[in-house]
Amino acid sequence: MPSPFPSSTSNPGTGIVKLALRPPDQPVFEVLSFSYPLKLVVSAHHKLSQSSSLEASATTPLRPSSVPLLFLLTYGGGLVSGDQIHLSISLTPKTRLTIATQGSTKIFKPSLPVDGSRPVQPPPLTRQDLCVGIAANAALWLGPDPCQPFASSRYAQAQIFEVDIEGGGSLGLVDWVSEGRSARGERWEFEGWTGKNEIWDVSSSANGKSGKGKNEKGAILVLRDNLILSAPGIASRVDSLGIFGTIILIGPLFLPLANFFIDEFKALPRIGARDWNAHKTLKAADTPSGTLLTDKERQEHWRKQRQGREKKDGVLWTAANVRGAVVVKFGASEVEGAKVWLREMLREEGTLDKEFGSGALMCVK
């Protein structure tokens, strides 16, 4: 008997998202489609306050009334060996979007053959591709939880961002990978993990330029960041780190946060430099009750506290300006230590909570 339902034309693991503004400033998903094993869920929108410092700027255009929170999920909390995910997102002018997950994305190892024979070597590649278009004055915060590859798994991801940089498009993302199931003694025992992040400038002025680094659409390559972790011997190459990550920030909306990372990196103690305050470990109890601190004193107090936690949690990090973007590389002994560090940095600066809502901080809770 033929099925009464029309046949599906979508490919497995494919997702398409298009976010637009309905006049005057209401964000709506014009397109939101997905197929197994990918699942997209829209959560409550974050209402934007009209008192934003960025909104008050005469050079800042009108912004949306709210920011949607989109959860990128997979059935079972992870990807089975051989799964393929292809997600395309389009942000039209003046829209904003937060993308999060509800936990670490687990990369499952290949299952053993039913007949008891030896598994296929190398195991099937699990892949996830993301392509995002960010139009003028649009902004995206991509804040997933850490990727958790199981022992013997193979994973590759490519995240391509086409941003109208001249038009004020903004992008912020965190991309991090852990050592695996540490509770089961796994320590960087997967077969391979590769990640690529590319930012392309699709501004009108970029299309008129000539030279190397352009693609078939006329866009100019601004940044390409690759991470390749391949067996054997991954654990020996990462020393004592249990998690490694990258933060990329570009565009006017993330400029305050980008400058904050640069300033805090400059304030880190340097090798060979003497800490004249080493005998004065700042603690909350050191401040007399009722004493009012200036903003500078309060920030210095917070910085000393944070640097102490960084040392305790084995956090190492660096930040640099790269062709108009700020790239932060960080690592920690354990996932929780990395989350504490990143949470402290993001909350202290405040851009994400103000401009994208508390959902933007779900990855560090």
| pLDDT for 88 beyond 80 | yes
* pLDDT number for residue 61: 47
CA 293 centroid distance within chain: 34
* pLDDT number for residue 270: 79
The token pair at 319 is: 């930040």
* Higher per-residue pLDDT: 59 or 356: 356
Q: How confident is the model at residue 337 (pLDDT cuts 50, 70, 90)?
A: very high
Radius of gyration from C-alpha coordinates of the chain = 22
* pLDDT number for residue 7: 58
Region 283-289 average pLDDT: 50
| pLDDT for 167 beyond 90 | yes
| pLDDT for 280 beyond 90 | no
Q: How confident is the model at residue 69 (pLDDT cuts 50, 70, 90)?
A: very high
The model carries a pTM of: 0.88
> 3-state SS of 139-203?
EEEEECCCEEECCCCEEEEEEEEEECCCCCCEEEEEEEEECCCHHHCCCCCCCEEEEEEEEEECC
Query: How does pLDDT run across 18-64, given as a tens digit for each residue?
Result: 999 998 889 999 999 999 999 999 998 999 876 554 544 444 446 79
What does pLDDT average to over the chain? 87
Residue type, 312: K
* pLDDT number for residue 295: 83
Phi-psi region of 166 (alpha: psi -120 to 50; beta: other; left: phi over 0): alpha
| pLDDT for 277 beyond 60 | no
Paired strand residues for 216: none
Could you tell me what percent of the chain has a pLDDT over 90?
70
Paired strand residues for 96: 139
Q: How confident is the model at residue 209 (pLDDT cuts 50, 70, 90)?
A: low
Residue type, 140: L
Of the candidate ranges 21-25, 101-105, 190-194, 212-216, the one whose mean pLDDT is the lowest: 212-216
Residue type, 131: C
Residues 66 and 27: beta-carbon distance below 8 Å = yes
* pLDDT number for residue 53: 45
DSSP string across 99-127? EE-SS-EEEPPPPPPTT-PPPPSSPPPEE
* pLDDT number for residue 106: 95
Of the candidate ranges 63-72, 111-120, 144-153, 318-327, the one whose mean pLDDT is the lowest: 111-120
